[in-house]
Amino acid sequence: MLNLPSRSIYNKRIPKNKFYKIIGTDNRLETKFTQELDYIIWKHKLSKETTNLESTKEVEEIQVFEFFLKTMDLSVEVLENIDRVIPYPILYILRFADKVKLSIAYKEKNKLDENRMVIHSYYETEWVRGDELNFEILSGITLKDVYDNIIRQLLPLKSKGNEDIEDLIELNQRIEKLKKEIDTLEKKVQREKQFNKKVEKNKELRKKIRELENLRAK
């Protein structure tokens, strides 16, 4: 499925209460862990020793966690709280029944506390059958390359492969923001009864659509 080297396999089950202690969960978050997660396997550890790829200051290791779920709707809070306290990128393999999906955060070290991470956004595949998921992980010459290329594959934008990952993420965020604004404007146009106001809103809507088309053409 991920075509990772056997020496990277860790296969260690992690009790959920271990995360509670590390994260410092409250009752509400513990309830989410209990209701949504069955158990967690630390599946792979990708490092210089296990991949022969160079580590960097930004990415020293990449962890692969396998989550066996009780529901397909895993709260993003669960992932965010784990990602904040583990100073490495984490690729999540989410499993529910015979379905599987991948998820990963774009995150960076907190400038005030390098042991904590700042989460910017999550990128993921669709749910598919386990035998349908085929994903290239070890692409690049450093672990930072691997991390960037995982996100590059999960971004909805078509990548040429040589763009700066931060630029791609920023472009994707601008596109997603514009799509939400267009959706809101379309609803306002449909609801507007006054002709003059409807015309103005339509002008604004067309302008936003052109902006979106230009962004997508980049």
**Residues 92, 34 share a domain:** yes
Instruction: Give the pLDDT confidence of 143-190 residue by residue, as tens digits.
Output: 999 999 999 999 988 777 677 888 899 998 899 999 999 999 999 999
pLDDT along the chain (218 residues), means of 10: 91 90 84 93 96 94 97 93 93 96 92 82 93 88 95 84 84 92 94 91 93 85
**Residues 178, 133 share a domain:** no
Please indicate, yes or no, if residue 80 is contained in any of the structural domains: yes
**Residues 68, 134 share a domain:** yes
pTM, rounded to two decimals: 0.86
- If one counts the domains in the chain, the total is 2
Please indicate, yes or no, if residue 161 is contained in any of the structural domains: no
Please indicate, yes or no, if residue 159 is contained in any of the structural domains: no
Q: 34: buried, middle or exposed (CB in 10 Å: 19+, 13-18, 0-12)? A: exposed
Domain that holds residue 120: 6-154
Domain final residue, candidates 154, 180, 196: 154
Q: What is the pLDDT of residue 11?
A: 95
Residue 47: left if φ>0, alpha if ψ -120 to 50, beta else—which one?
beta
Instruction: Give the pLDDT confidence of 35-50 residue by residue, as tens digits.
Output: 999 999 999 999 999 9
**Residues 118, 38 share a domain:** yes
CB-based contacts of 16-22 (< 8 A; 24+ apart in sequence) = 16/40, 19/81, 19/82, 22/85
- 59 touches 122 (CB < 8 A): no
Domain final residue, candidates 123, 154, 185: 154
**Residues 115, 12 share a domain:** yes
Please indicate, yes or no, if residue 95 is contained in any of the structural domains: yes
**Residues 185, 133 share a domain:** no
